[in-house]
Amino acid sequence: MVTCNALMLNEKNQNAVAPINRPFARKRRTEIRRLQSNKRLNKKVCERHLDIAHCTQKKAPWRNWGYLILVLAAGIGMFLQFTGRLSTVNGFLESYNNQFHSIVHNQDNYCNPSRRLGDMVLHARRQVLNQDHALNQLELALDNTTKEAIALVGTSGVGKSHTARILRETFPWPENVKTLSWTDRSSLGRVKSMLSGLTFCGQKMILIDNMTPKDALFVPIINEMISEGEKRANHTEHQQQKRLTVVFIFNVNGMQSREEVEMDMEILRNMPHTQLVTFATLEPTHLVDCIRREASIAMVHLEAEHVEEIIKSIDASASGCKSIWAKVLLYGKPIIADSQETDQVHPTDWLFLMFNFSRFLKF
């Protein structure tokens, strides 16, 4: 029989709580206090900015963006400041070049680009015969403010190359004249090199000789290269590319039929952004003027029958005055200062012959 006391003891044992492990509880409380202490310490460190990397782990990306924006703003500011000073630097260089060239050439304001180019035609009028209309066209083209390309067009011996030579020799800034004898497409590279080597002083001129109507397709390409240079000059400080004159010299084969010559001329007339200067084909009556001029230069005398012989031997429409110089030397007699002719050869006659022979080789 179970006693009452036993039942009461059993019920008390069931309701009793298991005793707590005191060492474990003490260790847990110590860990909690340590964590709380570290948290308070970290908070104080962050408030005093002693450990930025630790305190800004969540804010670091935003600060990095802020630094990047500051760097970009500083770079843009420096670029704008440099751009503002660029015009000042280029202005100083241009002024220095002007003073330098004025001293070298002994001429005040030598690099002033406002000088009139049409004045060069005055020299051509004295030497190029029977081409008044073409020279009038050339004068207007040189004075044109649009500065389009100029094309000297005509058959052989009408004065195109001679006119180009006069332009080269009388250009106000002779050091700025560049010449090119056209060959084929490879010449485009040389033109590009010329365009990139322009100087600040005065105006510039490029003469491109030895072109034929078949080369007309390259003119728009060259004009586009010039146009790109002018656009850069408008938006930058390369103002030297805005004062450029390009002259093409086209030779039309005069030995073709009249229809073929007209077809070639039509091709040249259709070249875009190019002012055409057409040299007239010479007539036999024009050859007399050429003969007189060449005889005067060579200091020789021609008999009337020799003049007629020269005119008959030349096709004026095909070769113009080009072959007259050699024939004048062939038929002409030297003009001697002393009216008395002697059989003895004077030393100056040898100089005269050497001079004429050198002229013949150059021709």
Q: State the CATH architecture for 117-276.
A: 3-Layer(aba) Sandwich (3.40)
| DSSP class of 230 | H
Residue 82, pLDDT above cutoff 60:
no
pLDDT for 347 equals 42
Q: At what angle do helices 187-196 and 219-235 cross, to 10 degrees?
A: 20
Q: Which residue has the tokens 């030995």?
A: 255
Question: How much is the pLDDT for 80?
Answer: 56
User: Contact at 8 Å (CB) between 131 and 159?
Assistant: yes
* The token pair that represents 308 in the structure block: 């007629």
Domain ranges for the chain, please list them.
39-105, 117-276, 284-362
Length of the chain equals: 363
Strands ordered across the beta sheet of 274-278: 177-181, 204-211, 244-252, 149-155, 274-278
Q: What is the average pLDDT across 99-126? A: 78
Torsion of CA 109, 113, 117, 120, to 10 degrees: 30
Distance from first CA to last CA of the chain, Å, rounded?
156
Please name the amino acid found at residue 165: R
Query: How do residues 305-323 score in pLDDT, each as one tens digit?
Result: 988 888 888 888 888 888 8
Instruction: Reply yes or no on whether the pLDDT at 154 is more than 70.
Output: yes
Residue 301 DSSP class? E
Query: Are the C-beta atoms of 130 and 286 separated by less than 8 Å?
Result: yes
Q: What percentage of the chain has pLDDT greater than the value 70?
A: 63
Backbone phi and psi for residue 49, each to the nearest 5 degrees, phi listed first: 60, 40
Residue that the structure tokens 């969540």 belong to = 58
**SS3 of residue 207 by DSSP:** strand
Asked if residue 247 lies in contact with residue 152, where contact means CB atoms within 8 angstroms, the answer is yes
Overall average pLDDT of the 104-128 stretch: 83
Give pLDDT, residue 317: 80
pTM: 0.64
Beta pairing partners, 278? 153
Of 140-149, 161-170, 238-247, which gets the smallest average pLDDT?
Answer: 238-247
Mean pLDDT, residues 106-131: 85
Measured between alpha carbons, how far is 34 from 52 in angstroms, rounded to an integer? Answer: 23
Q: Rank 26-40, 54-68, 81-95, 143-157 by mean pLDDT and report only the highest.
A: 143-157
The number of beta carbons lying within 10 Å of the beta carbon of residue 210 is 15
Mean pLDDT estimate for the chain:
76
Q: Is the pLDDT of residue 197 over 50?
A: yes
Torsion of the alpha carbons at 208, 128, 278 and 223, rounded to the nearest 10: 20
Q: How high is the pLDDT of residue 200?
A: 74
Tell me: the pLDDT tens digits for 217-266? 999 999 998 888 766 655 444 454 458 899 999 999 988 998 999 999 99
Share of the chain above pLDDT 90, in %: 31
